[in-house]
Structure 1
């Protein structure tokens, strides 16, 4: 049997050379495998070209262009699966970059708000001290010291709240069983301030948490109610399933539904409470919600039958106090 191969194709000449070395009886068997071998080589070459294309596209992507995607091909081949896996990773990277950018914006805004808030009492303090320095004989020392301490108290309060907010992303350092009924009663008695306080408290409502943080949260909520109530504050505490539910309602102007989430943001004051003498630094409710969240609870505001605002706190009951 004589076979002649013409042409300048290197692979064909190589195949012809191999066939000459094969016994005549085996040539037919070998020729049957040639199409499959060539097909496998073409598939391999396509896969390698697809992988090379993906590599080139990845080389062109940087952090400034994380929205870019590599080209995907149809089917379930390895190259197609690789392209889809790469695009999934790029999508996760884009989401992470978006989250990081939002966090940076929040951090910048927080720093700007904190600086602005601290500038006010510091500027007032500086102005009074400079005036006293310029006119020492006309300065009432008791009045100066009183205003100075007031401004320092404000600065200290803001700094304390900011430090507490930075720690509230983690679990409370100190956890013990707390009699929430007793704490609410004590805080309500401490903050009467001429208002009528109506208490309706279930006895021995116990929760687990940091007593100091819970007292701080209750104090902030009651102080907010006191500042906005006209005459009456109503406080209720009950067991609701496996949770303690505390409601603090005032008969003030209330909070519009559109602002009921915004008031828990840092440094937010509504129009009715923009006065720094009445409205504080705008951190009290943010701190209260942060403490509630750190104790696996929730805090929100809703309207109430008396026309004011009703703040509702829910916290898990202590395991031994559930009914």
Structure 2
């Protein structure tokens, strides 16, 4: 299935089906257990009634047994012989014996106290005469008792009048006055339980497909409504891709759910992509423009020199070549930074790096004053070449705008090494302090291109600072000019 709605509907339907089947089975099991317990209770009551009569030494033939269809009864002695049974019982299972006629050695009218025989007399079988003798002798006849233990329950069948049905049997023990233990098995029909369970099962089986269809339909409807904004986002993204118009945005639903957050994130991504493409286009345009001037100048000088060797301006050609080389180096470094070049993991002393960079600037218009505090090594981790490029670019910018002084200071703060480059020039207006870090931005429009850079030095410096997990900010110096602060984490690994 390729449709999310279909998969969601199928998943919900399967989950609901499993839940309903599990719940239905649990209901059926509980219902069956309750009804079976009720049948067992009825069987126990019937068994205890018969056991009570036996405990009173009622003869087997005079036992008032319940209706055989409602409560089939069997009475067995200690040897498992059937001594009494409900009339009309044709067959039985699930009890101690499957016999439905009393044992031949037991007289139907005898009790547990005399056993009875076909001769109908004698001291051993004459229960009633012995009872009279006991009264005549002034003795009270012994009375039996019914066991108070929980009965044993079994399930079986009984056949009455040609019909076989399921029953729940309860076995209750009774002791006669003569100490003979008898076991009464009485049953209660399970037809009510079976009918109730069957009705509930049938209702569940009939209602389950309907319920699943309702769940599937509702799930399809809900997921369709929920995913409708996603389809709108997809369609708009497809239109943006086809038109390449990054100014368009996907619709944002008014809800606060995941889809709304997806739409907002998508629009933020489109905004960042539009800005990135815009910067790339401006970069290409500005780079082409910046490269065109020195190349055109160098070509003109070479063409004039080729036609008139005496007019060749060699110093000018060298200057244009150096400028072109520097611009190409800046562009290559920016390209590597944009490609995610890692800055390296060399540990270096920032104070020594600053001293080395300043010592190489022998041709500067204004001498650079260096202050390193404290004198101990101030180590950071990163690329020596890239950090030297940052210091050099900051010094170039200060030399270009300073009037009489350029100062470099290196100090420490908790977990940070701070390099500050200050000058006493005109400074930078506060609204423009972030703009000068953009590529190809130069605030002095009156200055000729030959006197200034291409506007890439500060952009490169900030990019390098960020890739070293640091920052580069601009504030106003005490001398009134610009103050650039490069902050680098002390001795920490750089960002990948």
Cα distance 1:69–1:30, how it changes in 2: closer, same or farther (>3 A)? farther
Offset of residue 45 of structure 1: 2.0
Q: Deviations over 1:49-105 (max 9, x none)?
A: 333456677556421376236797xxxxxxxxxx95455444443433333232222
When the two chains are superposed, the root-mean-square deviation of aligned CA atoms in Å is 3.2
Q: How many angstroms apart in 1 are the aligned matches of 2:356 and 2:410?
A: 13
| Alignment partner, residue 217 of structure 2 | 45
| Alignment partner, residue 190 of structure 1 | 360
Tell me, yes or no, if structure 1 residue 68 matches structure 2 residue 238: no
Tell me, yes or no, if structure 1 residue 178 matches structure 2 residue 351: no
| Alignment partner, residue 301 of structure 2 | 128
Q: How many angstroms apart in 2 are the aligned matches of 1:171 and 1:30?
A: 70
| Alignment partner, residue 9 of structure 1 | none
Q: Which structure 2 residues correspond to residues 56-205 of structure 1 after superposition, within 5 A?
A: 61-62=234-235, 63=237, 64=239, 67-68=250-251, 84-134=257-307, 136=308, 139-141=310-312, 144-169=313-338, 170=340, 172=342, 174-191=344-361, 193-202=364-373, 203=375, 204-205=377-378
**1:234 paired residue among 402, 407, 414:** 407
Q: How many angstroms apart in 2 are the aligned matches of 1:253 and 1:56?
A: 58
Offset of residue 25 of structure 1: 6.6
Q: How many angstroms apart in 1 are the aligned matches of 2:372 and 2:291?
A: 39
Q: Deviations over 1:212-238 (max 9, x none)?
A: 222211111111111111111122111
| Alignment partner, residue 213 of structure 1 | 386
Q: How many angstroms apart in 2 are the aligned matches of 1:198 and 1:278?
A: 23
Offset of residue 37 of structure 1: 7.3
Offset of residue 271 of structure 1: 2.1
Q: Deviations over 1:21-52 (max 9, x none)?
A: xx987786479767897566444422223334
Offset of residue 113 of structure 1: 1.0
Question: How many equivalent pairs are there?
Answer: 283
CA contact (8 A) 1:233 1:250 kept: yes
Q: How many angstroms apart in 2 are the aligned matches of 1:295 and 1:208?
A: 8
Query: Relative contact order, CA 8 A, sep 6+: which one is greater?
Result: 1
Q: How many angstroms apart in 2 are the aligned matches of 1:123 and 1:267?
A: 19
Tell me, yes or no, if structure 1 residue 255 matches structure 2 residue 428: yes
CA contact (8 A) 1:171 1:295 kept: no
Secondary structure, aligned partner of 2:287: helix
| Alignment partner, residue 457 of structure 2 | 284
Secondary structure, aligned partner of 2:450: helix
CA contact (8 A) 1:225 1:249 kept: yes
Q: How many angstroms apart in 1 are the aligned matches of 2:288 and 2:389?
A: 24
CA contact (8 A) 1:225 1:250 kept: yes
Secondary structure, aligned partner of 1:150: helix
Q: Name the structure with the higher helix share.
A: 1
Secondary structure, aligned partner of 2:427: coil
Q: Which runs of 5+ in 1 are unaligned?
A: 1-22, 73-82
| TM-score normalised by length of structure 1 | 0.75
| Alignment partner, residue 142 of structure 2 | none
Q: Deviations over 1:283-308 (max 9, x none)?
A: 11111112212221111110011111
Q: Deviations over 1:108-139 (max 9, x none)?
A: 111111111111111212222333345x16x3
Q: How many angstroms apart in 1 are the aligned matches of 2:381 and 2:259?
A: 46
| TM-score normalised by length of structure 2 | 0.51
Q: How many angstroms apart in 1 are the aligned matches of 2:479 and 2:229?
A: 64
**1:275 paired residue among 432, 448, 460:** 448
Q: How many angstroms apart in 2 are the aligned matches of 1:195 and 1:94?
A: 50
Offset of residue 171 of structure 1: 5.3
